[in-house]
Structure 1
Amino acid sequence: MNLAIAHLGPPGTYAEQAAFFYLNWLKNQGIEANLSPYPTIAQSLQAVATQQADLAVVPVENSIEGSVTMTMDTLWQLENLRIQLALVLPISHTLISYAPNLDNIQTVYSHPQALAQCQGWLGEFLPNVNLIPSNSTTEALQRLNLEITTAAIASNRAAQLYNLPVLATGINDYPENCTRFWVISQVDHNYQISLTNPTYTSLAFSVPANVPGALVKPLQIFAQQSINLSRIESRPTKRSLGEYLFFMDLEAELNSFIMKSALEELQNHTEILKIFGSYNVLSITL
């Protein structure tokens, strides 16, 4: 078996770095795999949903900028996807450019998350440049040879892969910068092996109506079962202004008695409930 792992590409993105770690982890379990880059996070997940890929490694949350909304929205829209594992990757941003110094830079390209994670540094050292978002940190690198006044924010690994000059390293605003990725498969496929006793469960739901107490009741269910919420996030339903979906990460296993009891009661207070799965977390050491 040779599994295809979808990720945001081209090679050199942080998603590819996390996917490469997972690929090697699989190989240590005796499972062969290869990486398949896609232009967007949504396309990476759609590749799994349509069986073009077996797995996807997608970012879900950054410690500085919070949730990656494209991942959350796409996961809600697609059916039959499950979280197999979470990976935590340390992030250190690098300014890459052919410009001889910072004074020559007029435009900086990068993924919106990377630009946001470096906004303090950019405001201090490049306050007058144009900031232009791209689909990925690596895609931004393709523009550098077109104009010497351009720069891109990406990883130092990407600079090495493409043999590009580095102007500044560690430019993210906070040194403790990390991104959590989810490894996603279809529901009926289980490629996560030798990891037992999952510690987290992720789910999302909509409420029947926007009325007082609509969210309190679901939250009380978990409080009464002594289940800790490690994350809660709202996203618009895209049906009507003021209607929201609620994404939650819970510190309990899906098949535990308290979780089964909580989910049974939760269905009485939700319109649509989607369980994305139970999983463990692996930290990536660079």
Structure 2
Amino acid sequence: MTTIAYLGPAGTYSEIAALRYLQLIYPDLEPDSSRMIPYSTIPQAIDAAERGQVEVAVVPVENSIQGGVTMTLDSLWQSESLQIQQAIVLPIAHALISCAQNLEDIQTVYSHPQSLAQCQRWLERHLPKARQIATDSNTDRLHQVAEDATLAAIASKYAAEIYSLPILNFPINDRPDNCTRFLVLGRTAPTTQGTHSSLAFSLDRNMPGALVKTLSVFAERQINLSRIESRPTKRSLGEYIFFIDIEAPIADPNLDEALEELKNVTENLKILGSYAIAVDDIAIVT
């Protein structure tokens, strides 16, 4: 059975996405969590797949409220061998996990920066005096929460269940339609025909119309872009890498033609993968 790296410890949304991926590829088997290996950070999980220590890594790439996950995007650009195998969209419903008897007892709230941001209005309204401390994942401070009633963590109901901790409030995310897209990254191309493709590119130089030239390659062929996001190249202020998601498979002759032309108007072009997207029901996460 496939070995999977994910952002741990156990109980994170990344683990939920990894379990969902196992259901997709082994529909007749119970998901085996012993084949899943937690890592402390997203780059570490991606690096494990890059080095062949695991077959794939499951990592978050975009949230509907907070946008792109920068550590994932940066690691994708730096990767020399990984391809997107699958995308999984999970609805995210956050729980406030604490041994406190009431909200007034809570002095500190731990969670991943994305989760804190997704619950910011709720926290300002209900816990205005509590310190908010960012962690590497939603679950890596739950052992402290279990020992101190002045602490709380924002994580999933699944996390509360596996760590046997009480839920003080649920759901607490600011928007009920909150969802996160996860990528399954591996060193081989997917075996099934994809419906979407992702690529990234940098430009030769920052000059008027440089980005327009690249985007017109798709517009002229009526190819729809579902997402575009930029990240700094880290070489010089004002230089960017652009990440694009396309509603077409790489095998589409129209897209293949566009990519050939794109090579002439970009500095570096990386095809990140052509893949299918699985969209899950809310019941899987709550």
What range is the shorter-chain TM-score in?
over 0.9
- 2:257 equivalent to 1:261: yes
Distance 1:212 1:126, change over 3 A: same
2:61 maps to which residue?
60
- 2:130 equivalent to 1:134: no
1:223-271 alpha-carbon deviations (Å, 9 max, x no partner): 0010111000000001111110000001111121111110011011101
- 2:215 equivalent to 1:219: yes
5+ residue gaps, structure 2, are none
Distance 1:101 1:42, change over 3 A: same
- 2:146 equivalent to 1:145: yes
Structure 2 length-normalised TM: 0.95
Kindly report which structure 2 residues correspond to 1:1-286, keeping only aligned pairs within 5 A, or say none.
2-28=1-27, 34-186=35-187, 189-190=188-189, 192-193=190-191, 195-196=192-193, 198-285=194-281, 286=284
Q: Compute the RMSD of aligned alpha carbons.
A: 1.5
1:191-226 alpha-carbon deviations (Å, 9 max, x no partner): x45x43x21110000000011011010001100010
Letter in 1 for 2:260: E
Structure 1 length-normalised TM: 0.95
Shift of 1:32: 8.5
Distance 1:31 1:118, change over 3 A: closer
CA distance, structure 2, for counterparts of residue 240 and residue 66 of structure 1 = 24
CA distance, structure 2, for counterparts of residue 54 and residue 31 of structure 1 = 19
CA distance, structure 1, for counterparts of residue 15 and residue 129 of structure 2 = 31
5+ residue gaps, structure 1, are none
How many residue pairs align between the two structures? 280
Shift of 1:128: 1.4
